[in-house]
Homo-oligomer: A and B are copies of this chain.
Amino acid sequence: MSARAFFLEKRPIADIDDDVLQLKPLELAPLDDGEVRIENKFLSIDPTNRGWMNAQATYLPPIPLGTPMRAIVAGVVSESRADNVPVGSRVSGIGTFATHSVAKGSSLTPLPDEVSFEHALSLFGHIGLTAYFGLIDVGQAQEGDHVFISGAAGATGSTVGQIAKAMGCKVYGSAGSDEKCAYLRDELGFDGAINYKQYTSAVALTKAVHETCPKGIDVFFDNVGGDILDAALASLRMKARVVVCGGISQYNASKVQGPSNYLALITARARMEGFVVIDYVPRALEAIGAMMPWVAEGKLQARVHVLDGLEAVPDGLRRLFSGDHDGKLMVRL
């Protein structure tokens, strides 16, 4: 198989148009000291990919135009100049949308044999850590809290919901179809779920959130932004915590819709707080240790949506932003 990669050729203004990423041959340049080459087996499709495409730095530096597009990957080390990461190691970490990635050996997470690549890119990877620490550390969720999750059927949202249920919270969420809402209620045990696409105005959505979660919200875990954030702000309980995990409804917008109900933070003595999962990587074992028993008891499951072949990356990104997927999106090579 010849090496290929998606190169970032243009920065998107709004949607990721066809000319943003281009699939081209990849030259396998010699490694520097400390680096390894990964033969990618799975590529993770994530909302954060969109932010990485911009010219301004996020929590990582911008990607130079004309270079392979950054992505979270899992695979097998095929060449190594790093101590402790021998050829044949199964790893996950930050690589590229390509057949092969180059990374510092020290930046990678070694994967035990019993952890599948699918799990490495979902429950026991950045998704699980995002859900766990976002809910527990940033959101300070406690047993009995009323937790509302936007994008609740997504990879992170569905994990947050299951953890919150396992902790003894009341759990509510929004998603983009009746099928997803049925999945949340019937399969994951949510106490309520609303299909946000059913509401034609922000006022109607606000009313629906209030009716679904009539006692108000202690923790709002937001993956979406826009109208659902405003609706949740209007239902905050005293001392509520709004966890700003993402704003997928706004990533492709040329002008972000700020939360016009933010002054509700005053009335509710509440806070909104952002976080980035890479800060929690040193505490990964704490999260995995807490989640393992829930996985064993069947309280916590990963639903993955696998697309096949490197060529599927643009389709994966499209599905991510349209909501046309069931579970964590990834591409299998």
Contact = CB atoms under 8 A, between A and B. Distances in A.
Number of copies: 2
Interface stretch (A15-23, A65-73, A77-85, A251-259): A251-259
B276 A263 contact: no
Q: Which one of A250, A264, A271 has the highest number of Cβ atoms from chain B below 10 Å of its Cβ?
A: A271
Contacts of A244: 262-263, 265-266
Contact of A263 (B230, B250, B267): B250
Interface in A255-295: 255-276, 279
Interface residues of A, number: 33
Contacts of A267: 57-59, 274, 276
A246 interface: yes
A225 interface: yes
A125 interface: no
A202 to B, nearest CB: 10
Contacts of A173: none
A194 to B, nearest CB: 21
A128 interface: no
A105 interface: no
A134 to B, nearest CB: 11
A258 B226 CA distance: 10
Given A267-B276, A270-B274, A275-B266, A256 B261 contact: yes
